[in-house]
Amino acid sequence: MQNKFIKTDTKNKTSILTISRPEALNALNLEVLNEIECSLYEISLNRDICAVVITGDGEKAFVAGADIKEMANMSPIEAAKFAQKGHDILRLIRKMPQPVIAAVNGYALGGGFEMALACDIIYASQNAKFGFPEVTLGIIPGFGGTQNLSRLVGEKIANELIFTGNMIPAEKAKSLSIINEVFDSKAQLLEMALKTAEKISSNSPIAVALAKDAILNGINLPLNEAYHYESKVFGNLFSTQDQKEGMTAFIEKRKANFKGI
Ligand code: CAA
């Protein structure tokens, strides 16, 4: 499929997915969402790709939210389906074996903030701004924001951000543990996102994928069930060539050559 709004590039074992609709600050309409979904699905099946970076085109925005002009005349059923499309993408990001890094430059608002929250790691540039302006439009966050922000930082912080519609700068988002790191410029942001992706790619892809699975599946389980889940995943890894290779390489004092099997 020829994409109109999504550029994909591969560097080493990392896919870089750039949302490119700068005339609308990369706002998410249905076409953009479909292209993101198809691109991520393709990447998720590609065993040569070990990490993904999602970013926004231009200097001003990561994604300034769902497309307000497209949403303005939606019926209730269309709006619910639109939200479900957003949820499908969040699920895909969480389920795909590769870790996904959001490299947030400029505005990450509404659906853009929600997409970043679904990613495994969030890096931002100094000029990034995060917020949920939905209540200023007479709606609520619909791509998982009410659920994922409150699970991440607790109800009180999520309440304040969602009820006020206020935007917070990158440093504040870092101090609230919403994001991992802040970098001075967009260039530095992308460089560091790629560096982290490269470090992830040097490890066993199957171990990284199952670590992601254990964290995401375990986090909502009672602790004893989560321990049980972790021990099963830990045990399963002892059936892989990567476990044999990783431990043999350590004992032989050489670098492991992982195959992801
Ligand atoms: N949808 C559609 N178009 C958008 C957009 C959006 N979310 N955000 C920006 N644009 C468009 C603007 O309409 C404008 O287009 P025109 O030149 O054709 O008018 C262009 O992008 C540039 O935007 P501005 O001129 O507004 O740029 P600015 O620098 O003055 O302001 C901004 C930047 C503060 C981000 C402002 O654009 C803004 O407030 N955008 C809307 C943010 C928002 O409310 N996002 C949440 C959407 S709802 C949602 O996401 C629901 C959900 O949970 C799924």
Give, in degrees to the nearest 5, the angle at Cα 144 between 215 and 103.
70
Local structure of residue 28 (DSSP, 8 states) = B
**Residue whose CB lies within 8 A of the most ligand 1 atoms, among 19, 21, 25, 139, for a mutation test:** 25
Q: Determine whether 155 is an active site residue.
A: no
Which residues lie with the beta carbon below 6 Å from any ligand 1 atom? 24-25, 27, 64-69, 86, 107, 109-111, 114, 133-134, 137, 141-143, 145
Helix (H) or strand (E) segment spanning residue 100: strand 100-104
Q: List the residue whose alpha carbon is closest to atom 3 of ligand 1.
A: 24
The Cα 124–Cα 145 span in angstroms is 18
* % of the chain exceeding 90 in pLDDT: 98
Q: How close is the Cα of 64 to the center of ligand 1, in Å?
A: 6
How many beta carbons lie within 10 A of that of residue 111, not counting itself? 29
Which of 46, 191, 22, 66 lies closest to 7 in space, CA to CA?
A: 22
Alpha carbon 59 to chain centroid distance? 20
pLDDT, tens digit (0-9, with 9 covering 90-100), for 66-115: 999 999 999 999 999 999 999 999 999 999 999 999 999 999 999 999 99
Cβ(85)–Cβ(48) below 8 Å = no
Q: List the residue whose alpha carbon is closest to atom 12 of ligand 1.
A: 24
Query: According to the model, what pLDDT value does residue 1 have?
Result: 63
For the chain, domains (ranges, CATH) are 6-201 (3.90.226.10), 205-251 (1.10.12.10)
Which of 177, 14, 188, 19 lies closest to 112 in space, CA to CA?
A: 19
pLDDT, tens digit (0-9, with 9 covering 90-100), for 217-260: 999 899 999 999 999 999 999 999 999 999 999 999 999 999 99
Q: Is the pTM of this model over 0.95?
A: yes
How many beta carbons lie within 10 A of that of residue 196, not counting itself? 20
The Cα 111–Cα 141 span in angstroms is 7
Question: Which ligand 1 atom is at minimum distance from the Cα of 66?
Answer: 50
Q: Determine whether 31 is an active site residue.
A: no
pLDDT, tens digit (0-9, with 9 covering 90-100), for 16-28: 999 999 999 999 9
